[in-house]
Structure 1
Amino acid sequence: MQTQTNPDYFDRLIDEKEAASYLCYSVRALQNWRVRGGGPHFIKVSGRSVRYTRRDLQKWIAAKRVANTGAEPTK
């Protein structure tokens, strides 16, 4: 298993199943975000093949961080 000590860990392309697991969301949620917007950046490898990087997933997570329930996530 690769760990964060591997320099390739955050930039290696991962499939939507692994990305969903990393985010603790369903694959269906990722698919919906790709259509509607609001999800993490993704790479469209071909017509039916989508990949993510952990770096993009981490950026998306950081943008959703708030200090309290009245705060808006950063854009």
Structure 2
Amino acid sequence: MAAGGSNRLLTPDDTAERLAVSKRTLYAKWRAWGIPAYKVGKHLRFRERDIDHWVSQQACS
């Protein structure tokens, strides 16, 4: 997990847009990609700083 950054929770729509993938792809791949996600009630949410950290890790690979 990244140190610092926003704890804002993103919806799957927001996350898919941020990653430039479809929401369908996000739902199919988030576990395989290793993106941490959280259940809020019955809804899936992604923490903004986790997404930013994941993207930065992909850029370094």
Structure 1 counterpart SS, 2:33: coil
Structure 1 unaligned spans of 5+? 1-8, 67-72
Q: Which runs of 4+ in 1 moved over 6 A?
A: none
Alpha-carbon separation, structure 2, partners of 1:28 and 1:39: 16
Which of the numbers 12, 29, 48 marks the counterpart of 2:8? 12
**Fraction of identical pairs, as percent:** 26
- AA aligned opposite 2:43: S
Kindly tell me the number of residue pairs found equivalent between the two proteins: 57
- Normalising to structure 2: TM-score of the pair? 0.75
Per the alignment, in what secondary structure is the counterpart of residue 44 of structure 1?
Answer: strand
> When the two structures are superposed, what TM-score results if normalisation uses the length of structure 1?
0.63
| Larger Rg over CA atoms | 1
Q: Which has the higher contact order (CA 8 A, sep 6+)?
A: 2
RMSD (Å), alpha carbons: 1.9
Aligned twin of 1:64: 58
Aligned to 1:40: 35
Residues 11-69 of structure 1 deviation map (CA, whole Å, 9 limit, x = unaligned)? 111110011111111111110113x51142111223x4100111011111011114xxx
5+ long unaligned stretches in structure 2: none
